Chains A and B, each alone.
Chain A
Amino acid sequence: MTTQNNALASLQASGVLEVLAWAAPAAFTATDQLYDEDQGHDQGVVGYLNFKHFKDLIDRATTNGRFVVGADVQGTGDDVIKRGVTPEAFHSMPRLAADAVLRRDYKQSPGWAIEGFRLLLQSYPFGKIDDIKWVQRSDAKREAASQLYVRDDALFDDEEFGLESITGIPDDNDFVGVTLIVAHAFDPTTKQFELYVGQSKNPEGPGDSCWHWKTLLLSGGKPLSGTHVSVPPAMPGDAATTDVEDVPVRIKKPRADEGAGSANG
């Protein structure tokens, strides 16, 4: 099993992939509601809003962050979970057990962890998935891109030399495992969006990729599909038109001398 397949299988089994596929479109829709280029909003605002919405929705579905239920609280805290999402989004929300996914933040970057893997979020302009420069992003993203990567086609693997492969970010004592990146993009003009998961890397030279591997989880065009956008019902009636019949006008008596009628008839 390759490293990529291994990672995806774990994410799938834990339900995280389902959460991401649910949260991303809902986040984009929420962003689209707020986005207003007339107020000077630009790609920065889109990225920031997507990040905030996305983070909140993942926390919501995985019972993390501000949705952590206190030990003495009975039930699931539905009243809090319902607030701030559309009813459609709430009803379609996948719900994971409260301990299935845990928050393991790294250098102020929110992270969600399952056994062996951790996910960090990264926004990018739509269509530029292969142009992300990790060194220009946060410390967390730079470090994540510097992780040791065990290549599937290596001539020798560490075990052959009796060594243990140490994956993950060096000097990060809070989490053991590989840190992956969930990359999201949304274009509010065309409504196109993309969602990738993968392991980032710093390119070793010009033309080298910024990913060890990446997998497209979601993409959509114009307009957003599914339950995430409320499509208004058809407007009532037939549209206004200039294509109508004349009013019926008939001659009273087909006689040519009718024209000389008096003015005040």
Chain B
Amino acid sequence: MVDLRRPSQTLAAAASFFNGERLTMARQLAGLKKSHLAALIEMSPASVTAWESGTKQPNRATVAKLALALHVEPQFFGGGAPPKVSKPNFRSLRSTPQIAQDEAEAYGRFVAEVAGMLQNAVEFPEALLPDLPVDPDERSMTPEKAARRAREFFGVAAGPVQHVVRLVERSGVVVVFSEPGAAAIDAYSLHSSTRPIIVLNPVKDDYYRQRFDAAHELGHLIMHHDAEPGGKVAEEQANRFAAEFLMPAKEIAPFLPSSTAGKAWAQLAELKEHWGVSLAALLFRARALGTMGDVSYRNAIIRMSQNGWRRAEPGRISALEMPSMLPRAREVLGEAGVDDAMFLSGSGLPVRLYEIAVSRIPSARTKS
């Protein structure tokens, strides 16, 4: 019932409908350079280049070899052009190797494709984000103003954002964990032809940090729709957006301590739990808002280092915010009798990656 076509028919179709862009996507998802892939299938790198650019078509036997080497079904290559995505916003372009950037972008494309397939079968919340472009000069809009507008747009009441991931999901944003292999990259975000996507890093296993990451990426999606990603200015703007989005100056300023003397650490711990933000973010906020002077801030950071809190802060909540949109769609399909293999059979998408993209928990955890 899964697939009535014989393997040779599948191969024939895949070879006939072969799309070079899909080969690029599969290769990047596997984290391979062209030369590396060429070596795996004992062909020349020039051939790989030719197939990817569409100037040459691989024959059936080669398609079979490519599928085997890249862990996809042959029909994957015949699925038509992959979804268009914007260049992802990476935290640090310079420290992210090209191969990792390509892999991350391909994963974004993959998630966009999965989301597109799922929304043929199920109804997702409408994709609706405010568009509040902030240019580097911030002439017409500042990140803080954009954050306040965004809170209004989402209908956030005064106080903490209760659940950042759920909030953006309700506006149709796809939130997924990245594969553990892409650990070198922080969270990133991209616009796709289907939906905006936020990819969270599974290795940064900290609830408070993850909320800030999600808000940071939301900032990119809202403010930097058309901007060239990766710039230092844009990153700083996204951080300011996240700070104001999670800790509006007007609401949190009266509670921030001016130094870490006396009961201040206990006070910070309380603030941390209420607002769902890290101690580091609170201290930075206190300094940015002028509540805390430079000397007190530096003392606080030294104390953080001495206690080992710069790597792992104490905090009550250890479970991460979990995505629900794609996981729920998979469950709904399962309840209707459609399992993963059946759902993916036509597309040839790799089941392993699909499982990561529709998981509620990061897959790095299941390994450890």
Cβ-based interface call for B291 (8 A): no
Q: Which of A246, A249, A254, A255 has the most CB of B within 10 A?
A: A249
Residue B123 at the A interface, CB < 8 A?
yes
Say yes or no: A188-B262 contact (C-beta < 8 A), given A239-B276, A240-B160, A247-B125: yes
Q: Is the CB of B120 within 8 A of A265?
A: yes
- Indicate if the CB atoms of A247 and B166 lie closer than 8 Å: yes
- Cα of A263 to Cα of B111 in the assembled complex, Å: 11
Could you tell me if B262 and A32 are in contact, using CB atoms closer than 8 angstroms? yes
- Is there an interface contact between B328 and A242, defined as CB atoms closer than 8 Å? no
- In the bound complex, CA of A216 to CA of B81 (Å): 85
Q: Contacts of B169 on A, CB cut-off 8 Å?
A: 247
User: Nearest CB to that of B119 among chain A residues?
Assistant: A265
Task: Judge whether B273 and A239 touch: CB under 8 Å.
Answer: yes
A253 to B333, CA, bound (A): 10
In the complex, how many angstroms separate the beta carbon of A99 from the nearest chain B beta carbon?
Answer: 38
Contact string against B for A residues 238-257, beta-carbon threshold 8 Å, 1 for contact and 0 otherwise = 11111011111111111110
Contact flags B103-134 to A (C-beta < 8 A → 1, else 0): 00000000001001101111111000000000
- Chain A nearest CB from B304 CB (Å) reads 12
How many positions in chain B have a CB within 8 Å of any CB in the partner chain?
A: 66
Contact between B346 and A242 (Cβ–Cβ < 8 Å)?
no
A264 contacts B by Cβ under 8 Å: yes
Closest to B317 in A: A242
* CA of A154 to CA of B163, assembled, Å: 76
Bound-state CA distance A237–B246 (Å) is: 12
* B65 nearest CB across to chain A (Å): 22
The reply to whether A240 and B161 contact each other, CB–CB distance below 8 Å, is yes
- B342/A259 in contact, CB under 8 A: yes
Which residues of chain B come closer than 8 Å to A36, judged between CB atoms? 259-262
**Interface size bracket, A side:** 35 or more
Q: Which residue, B121, B170, B299, B332, has most C-beta atoms of chain A within 10 A?
A: B121
Q: Mark B282-294, 1 if CB is under 8 A from A, else 0.
A: 0000000000000
Question: How far, in Å, is A43 (CB) from chain B's closest CB?
Answer: 15
The distance in angstroms between the C-alpha atoms of A188 and B262, with both chains bound, is 7
B308 at interface by CB-CB < 8 Å:
no
A236 sits at the interface (CB 8 A):
yes
Residue B80, interface by CB 8 Å: yes
- CA of A236 to CA of B247, assembled, Å: 11
Asked if B30 CB lies within 8 Å of chain A CBs, one says no
Q: A33 near B261 (CB under 8 angstroms)?
A: yes
Given contacts A240-B211, A254-B336, contact A248 B125 (CB under 8 A): yes
Q: Chain B nearest CB: distance from A35 CB in Å? A: 6
Q: Is A72 an interface residue (CB 8 A)?
A: no
Q: Does A226 contact B (CB under 8 A)?
A: no
| CB of B329 closer than 8 Å to a CB of A | yes
What are 9 of the A-B contact pairs (CB < 8 Å)?
A: A36-B262, A38-B299, A249-B123, A255-B336, A259-B345, A260-B345, A261-B121, A264-B79, A265-B116
Q: Apart from A235-B255, A245-B166, A259-B121, what 5 extra A-B contacts exist at CB < 8 Å?
A: A32-B263, A33-B262, A242-B207, A249-B123, A250-B122
Q: Which residues of A contact B (CB under 8 A)?
A: 32-36, 38, 188, 191, 223, 232-233, 235-242, 244-256, 258-265
